[in-house]
Structure 1
Amino acid sequence: MLSCEKKKKTAEGSTYKPQQVDKYFKLANQFYDNSKYDSAFYYATKIKLIINPEKDLEKYTTTMFILITSQQLQGDYSGAESSIVETLSNVEKEKSERYKYKFYTMLGYNYTCQSNYNEALFYYKKALSFKVPKKRKLISIINIGNIYKQKKQFKKAIKILEPLLSDKNAKQNKYYYAGILNDLGFCYFKTGNPKAIIYLNQSLKMNYNMDSTADDDYDLTTNYYSLYHYYLKKDKTKAINFAKLLYKKGTQYNNPDDRLLALNFLIKNSTGEELKKYSLNYINLNDSITKVRQKAKNYFAKLKYDSKKEKEENLKLKAEKELQQELEKNKNIIIAFTIILILIIFSFIYYYLIEKNKKEKLQTAYQTEIRIAKKLHDELANEIYQTINFAETQDLSSPNVSEKLLENLDSIYTTTRNISRENNFIETGSLYTENLKEMISSFNSKTVNILINGLEEIDWKSISELKKITMYRVIQELMVNMKKHSQSSLVLISFKKQENSLILNYYDNGIGINFEKQIKKNGLQNIENRIVSINGSITFEENQNKGVKTSIIIPI
């Protein structure tokens, strides 16, 4: 391209629900299409303030294209650079790289307009690194070739541009192909290749034929520029003619840069009145451009300031609203936390009372057992006394009386012994181990051999009174059940401490247990209830006809 004037493109819109955004978007496109770039910039800035790039990326990027191009067309390249960088920051996280490609290309173009060719070259090459279709990458390759041409590195430019002549994508796009022919022809001219004029004329013909049926024939300016330089030393008349055509086309499209360039060519090749006329036109046009562009920069700066101020006010209102919402949210959190805390406290109290009541009931049961044992003992003792008295007053020589007396005494003694054993007071102090061992050993007989392991190794002082009583009663229940039902000849009871638990393992080699029929009959249910009451666990191994194996775990 000859100058930094871009071909105008109609911004393609996309559907967006907020009515205000749609309204501004429509106005920005209308003003842009009518070359009213200050107004297009104004409404594009309005959109930028309220649009959400994440929700409508297509409309956002189109808006930024209008805004940036409006700045470039008015010579505000510094502002355009800031806008491009801002846009790139919003599209950086996008998976699709076509937006990055588009705005890195615009950044390269922005530096080209400022004749900063090294930076332009860097960003054009950066754009090529993105994953976009080859058709899209073509413009970057053409731009890179053009940069080398501007840097007067014509051989490098030729090396890049020549392969494009056979590129199918380039051939399909006649505008691109005409541009390639022109740049390549100019480079051939500078390197002394005779094919230069062929390519330059071919490009001119293509642009002329394409634009003969269209209003937009701006690309002809690049042909006029190249042909002016080609004929400058070969045919000055032709060269001046192309300079005049360049001025005419620049005037037609209101491109001051092309007009200044053409006037510069004409001044160098004129004398007398023509020189004076062209010089005055150049001075007036240059002054006018400076004023217009400065005015545009000031206008854009004011718009950006107003927009920034409006944005800051909106952010302040938003921050105040968010603060209020955060305070309300925190208030709700505190209320919810308070309610949860109250529920936890009430749950803890309820659990504590339940457990306390459970323990009190258990303790009461133990006290009741002691009371019953004492009462039965005293009552049976009186009965024994009466029986003895009976024996003293009766004729014991009579076989019937003697036999009756012995039966009564045996029955009374057996009942008393059993009741006392099952319900008497349990020593939980220093004699606990000895009493427990004695109770277990009392079930020894000629037919039953009982082995005890690990009893003395347990630190019974560290275990609560309630748990020791429970352990005593549980073992007692197991031994009674063994005596009544198991028909065993060997019983093994072992004690073991493991971390914070006391483990009791019981085994006998009797006939086993039919759990479905006997669990309630032989006191096993009582054992389970006692263990559960102190948060313990009990496991019966169902191995019918092969004895009983039980494991009890009590937390200590």
Structure 2
Amino acid sequence: MASIQQINGDYYGSNETLTEALPYIKKKDIYSAAINNLFGIAYKELAIYDEAFYYYNEALKDCTDSVSRQSPLNNIAVVYIQQKKYNESIKILESILSEKILEEKVFIPNKARFMDNLGYAYFKKENYDKALMLMTESLKLREENNDSYGSIESYLHLAEFYAKKDIQKSNENAKKAYQISTIQNSVDERLKALSFLISNGSGTKYAQQYISINDSITKIRNNFKNKFAKIKYDSKKEKDENQKLKLEKIENLLAIKEAEKDKVILFATIIATLIAFTSLGVYLRKRYKHKTRLVEITTAYNTETRIAKDIHDELANDVFHAITFTQTQSLTTENNKDTLLQKLNHIYSRVRGISRENSNVDTGANYSASLKDMLSTYNTSDIHVIITNIEKIEWNDLENEKKVIIHRVLQELMVNMKKHSQAQLVVLKFENAQNTLLIDYKDNGKGCEKSKIIKNGLQNMENRILAIKGTITFETEPDKGFKVNITMPK
């Protein structure tokens, strides 16, 4: 069941199911290794790499022979690639490939997989000759052994390899990956192949295909997830127990019969929220450095003004209706209890949205994943966000101040898109150029006359970028989308 949930993209649900399986394990053996390996895969896909390492290593402890150790070791090597620790990944993969048992026919698919990952690690390390040799040999082995599904990953890696060297070859490999993944009904690989074709500038027809496929799979996976309990399990922090306590508090709240008590609780929540956002405004005034104080204070003021407007526009009416409901309706009936709970949950979601847009920025080792996660939150059934090359940027070489500004500027771009553009597709591309970082933003929204661009958040973006000696340009025409080009020194 947990494996099926992972295939359907429900990694939190998979972790919950795996947790239910744990009590049935009486001793450390191949079954406990399989469970820990699946835990590791789920956390890897969620980009929680420390947890992934923990469970992969637990799986290794339970493996009974060298063959069973190969899968978790390979998975650890893949995580190292994601973390740009290429030497560590290469060391593990070369060690696995040195085992003679991989020469046996039954293990050839495994050998091809390990070889492809090793080639990809060398590619990331910029040892291009060795990378191409290994990835090409892996593809040959897969084709000779009719490993059609495995060849998809080979073609995707080659598409990325050629993306900056030979666009035609990159597109050829991406198209092969798309064709085979279509036959294999492998949706994620189809979307990845299309993202390469879109990034390579191969036309809008691929963007339309991307939107259509992504719409379908999102609906299917949402329906699938709704069949399982939506509990986010964290074994170290005992989230199961916290979830039970939360549910008990909700039940106790709804069980209160006196309407006045409900009003007191609701008013306390509203007051606490408003105090929190007022404190946020004070904090924003104090946090900016002296050298850019004039520009940054202006930006902080605009940010506070936007927060205040969001609270007024997005929360005030909802809060008023919730209060009116408690004053006019009996809370002793189940239907009214459910309605009040829905209203409270809606207000809570609005508060979380505003909080997310104005929370502190993680500038540490997880910056890239945090930035990608923020951008991905704007993916909806109507808006599709494609992010390319974000992992290729050496974020550790960038000053923390610049990381914060990039995060805020892109966040304001996405907010502006969501409120004004009516876009269906957004493409963000990151690129290194000598000592400069380039960021390109494009959407297929309604656009506008360039002379009539409404400043607001756009003015904030300009102020932020100018403060770090960067440049930002806007390109737009009615019905021709919106483009933004950002350059900044590293």
User: Which protein, 1 or 2, shows the higher relative CO under an 8 Å CA cutoff with sep ≥ 6?
Assistant: 2
Which of these two proteins has the greater Rg computed from alpha carbons?
1
Per the TM superposition, whether the score is higher than 0.5 is no
Query: TM-score, length-normalised on structure 1?
Result: 0.39
